[in-house]
Amino acid sequence: MVRARPRPWPQRAGPGVNARGAGSGRRGSRTAGKTPGLVLSRDSRFLVGVWPALKLTPAEARCFVHCALLLAQPAPDLAAALAHLGYVQIDPINVCGRMHDLILRNRVVAYREGDLMRHLHGEPAAPLAAAARTAFEHHLPSQQNILVAFPIEAWPHPHAANRARAGRAGTWSGRLDARQRRLAERILGEITARGPLCSDDIDDDQRDHPGWGTSASLAKTTLRKLFFHGRVLIARRINQRRYYDLPERVLPAATLAAPKPTARESTRWFATLKLRQRRLASLKRDELRAIDDLVQPIAIEDCGQHYCLSSDRLLLLSSIEIPGSKQGNFPPRPSAPLDPLIYDRRLTARLCNLDYTWEVYTPPAPWRNFPSTPHEPTPDNPDRTRVSCLRLSRTLPAGPRSRRPAPRRPPDSPAPAGRAPDQKTTMGSRPH
């Protein structure tokens, strides 16, 4: 990791002047009294206090993100990495490594396959006691329903999303239907009496149709919805099979007794979480309004306005000071398909000069590469590389059957792993 060299911020930032002395283009900005470098700007009918924008080249921005995402210097342990990133996305599918293992192996000293599950739950034969737990599994509080590992302090914030899911229609995560309500009472009673259970432990032969053109046991779909609603939590996994228990037997008592956050506090937490996870990202207007006092604007050449956490300013400035010949001098390493470094496809294309497509859940006709052809020059720019990675969970049928459309995804089911929560394009993995 580059040793940060403190660089004094300007004691007074004139109207529309950024940290490098270049005009920001904002007319009517003014310096904020006692806070050096802080600019108040009227933007789209609301007043927001932000630091003046720093102008970066793509190479400088790439160097900063690489360092800020723990790739230059890994965290000493998994708890530190999880606290830094805010969460790690979980995916049990294993083709050349599971998503969470690939993400963490580059960011935690001496990380071994399966360490995240051991950190969350302990060993399968000796699960952690509730008082000893420092992290838990749950879904991001958004309609994409992405499963992640959270540090324990995140517990109060998904509650509003849990309640919302329990109140809206949906075959995957929505409210329980009549059959599921009847079975849920029996399941909760058995868990109370017997301890952690998986769907196979429930003596019930009813079937259900959760979507994706498949069927599952009613016990499995009911347990999944109870988990989405926060009424049970994953207590342990055995060969990726989930065993659920009551929240009071999974999490520490102090965590469960934590004060309920206000809607504003949770909105602020979620917006901050986005920057903790990616370290450099664009923000929507309501996100910026919620955390305007915590962000540093960054103007990247030909890439528009982005933001990082103001707590990363020192690292940001040290990245700027690295000689240009060393800014891209990072060793290649295998990456997860949704690694935070490459999560935003548009930003990845600009910073890394990489046209990156993950053609998962895509019919065969539009495929550009099969099964994977990294570093293929694009037709319009031979100096630009294109990576197309596929992750197939089932064998494709042969002949005319291969033109059949993919199974319909329930609207409330998890978005395909290649879909980012706030954009419509898909992404994949590359060596970085």
Write down the pLDDT at residue 389. 46
Chain centroid, CA 337 distance in Å: 12
Whether residue 50 contacts residue 309, with contact meaning beta carbons closer than 8 Å, is answered with no
pLDDT of 428 > 50? The answer is no
User: What is the rounded CA–CA span in Å between residue 2 and residue 273?
Assistant: 24
Structure token pair of residue 311: 């707590």
pLDDT of 224 > 70? The answer is yes
Q: Which of 40-44, 236-240, 304-308, 426-430 has the lowest mean pLDDT?
A: 426-430
pLDDT of 205 > 90? The answer is yes
Write down the pLDDT at residue 353. 80
pLDDT of 370 > 60? The answer is no
| Residue percentage of the chain with pLDDT more than 70 | 69
pLDDT of 254 > 90? The answer is yes
Report which listed range, 180-194, 362-376, 405-419, is most confident. 180-194
Helix and strand numbers (H, E) in the chain are 12, 18
Collapse the DSSP code of 426 into the 3-class scheme (helix H, G, I; strand E, B; otherwise coil) and give the result.
strand
Residue 409's pLDDT band (cuts 50, 70, 90): low
Residue 342's pLDDT band (cuts 50, 70, 90): confident
Write down the pLDDT at residue 417. 46
Q: In terms of pLDDT, which residue wins out, 322 or 373?
A: 322
Whether residue 388 contacts residue 368, with contact meaning beta carbons closer than 8 Å, is answered with yes
Q: In terms of pLDDT, which residue wins out, 414 or 429?
A: 414
Burial class (CB in 10 A: 0-12, 13-18, 19+), 131: exposed
Backbone angles phi, psi at 216, to 5 degrees: -150, 165
Collapse the DSSP code of 197 into the 3-class scheme (helix H, G, I; strand E, B; otherwise coil) and give the result.
strand
Question: What mean pLDDT comes out for the span 381-394?
Answer: 42
Q: Dump pLDDT digits (tens) for 353-366.
A: 877 776 666 666 65
What's the whole-number average pLDDT of the chain? 78
Question: What mean pLDDT comes out for the span 118-128?
Answer: 94
What pTM, to 2 d.p., does this model score? 0.77
* Stretch (H or E) spanning 148: strand 147-151
pLDDT of 16 > 70? The answer is no
Q: Kindly report the number of other CB atoms within 10 A of residue 336's CB atom.
A: 25
User: What is the rounded CA–CA span in Å between residue 96 and residue 99?
Assistant: 9
Q: Kindly report the number of other CB atoms within 10 A of residue 27's CB atom.
A: 10
Residue 327's pLDDT band (cuts 50, 70, 90): low
pLDDT of 315 > 60? The answer is yes
Cβ-based neighbours of 233, under 8 Å, separated by 6 or more: 136, 137, 138, 227, 244, 245, 246, 247, 250, 251
Q: Which of 413, 344, 359 has the alpha carbon at shortest distance from 170?
A: 413
Residues in the chain: 432
Q: Which of 5, 20, 154 has the alpha carbon at shortest distance from 87?
A: 154
Sign of the CA dihedral with 343 first, then 345, 351, and 355 last: positive
User: What is the rounded CA–CA span in Å between residue 273 and residue 93?
Assistant: 25
Write down the pLDDT at residue 408. 61
Please name the residue that has the structure tokens 């009227």.
42
Write down the pLDDT at residue 366. 58
